[in-house]
């Protein structure tokens, strides 16, 4: 798969995720649907943010590294880091919705995501 085709697929997937997120925001009332509505909201937010972060990180790599083969080889890292940034955002959003987010809890979530990324970086092949 070429970098161009991968990026087009990611763009289309991100647009679908954003449309799904918009649908959830406009048509699902979390008060009436309960946990299912909240799950749909957090899942659609995760997917939409993942797509945005993955595309942004890939764009940064393309600017920093001009060789398309190296950028394509680093797509797994962009995908993982985008998903982790999305997980961080959704985790903080969930804590805030439960009125449990304080600055030290936020730092603990950031540290946890950072440790997960360090684990993956240290176990590279």
56-67 per-position pLDDT tens digit: 999 999 999 888
- Which residues, including other chains, have CB under 8 Å from residue 42's CB and lie 6 or more apart? 90, 93, 94
Q: d(Cα 64, Cα 62) in Å, to the nearest integer?
A: 6
3-state helix, strand, coil in the chain (%, to 5): 85, 0, 15
Domain that holds residue 97: 3-122
Is residue 66 helix, strand or coil? coil
Per the document, the length of the chain is 125
Residues 6+ apart with CB under 8 A from 113: 84, 85, 87, 88, 91
What's the structural domain count of the chain? 1
- The Cβ-side half-sphere exposure at 37, using a 13 Å CA radius, reads 12
pLDDT tens by residue, 22-40: 999 999 998 899 999 999 9
Average pLDDT over residues 108-119: 98
Task: For residue 65, give the 3-state DSSP assignment.
Answer: coil
pLDDT of 125 reads 63
Look up residue 117 and give its two tokens: 């990324």
Query: What's the whole-number average pLDDT of the chain?
Result: 94
């Amino acid at each position: 798969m070429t970098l161009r085709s991968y990026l087009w697929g990611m763009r289309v997937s991100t647009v679908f995720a954003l449309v799904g997120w918009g649908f959830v925001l406009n048509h699902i009332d979390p008060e009436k649907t309960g946990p299912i509505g909240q799950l749909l909201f957090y899942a659609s937010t995760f997917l939409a943010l993942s797509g945005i972060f993955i595309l942004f990180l890939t764009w940064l790599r393309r600017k920093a590294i001009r060789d398309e083969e190296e950028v394509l080889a680093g797509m797994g890292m962009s995908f993982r880091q985008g998903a982790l940034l999305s997980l961080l955002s959704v985790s903080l959003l969930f804590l805030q919705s439960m009125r449990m987010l304080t600055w030290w809890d936020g730092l603990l979530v950031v540290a946890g995501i950072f440790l997960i990324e360090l684990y993956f970086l240290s176990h590279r092949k």
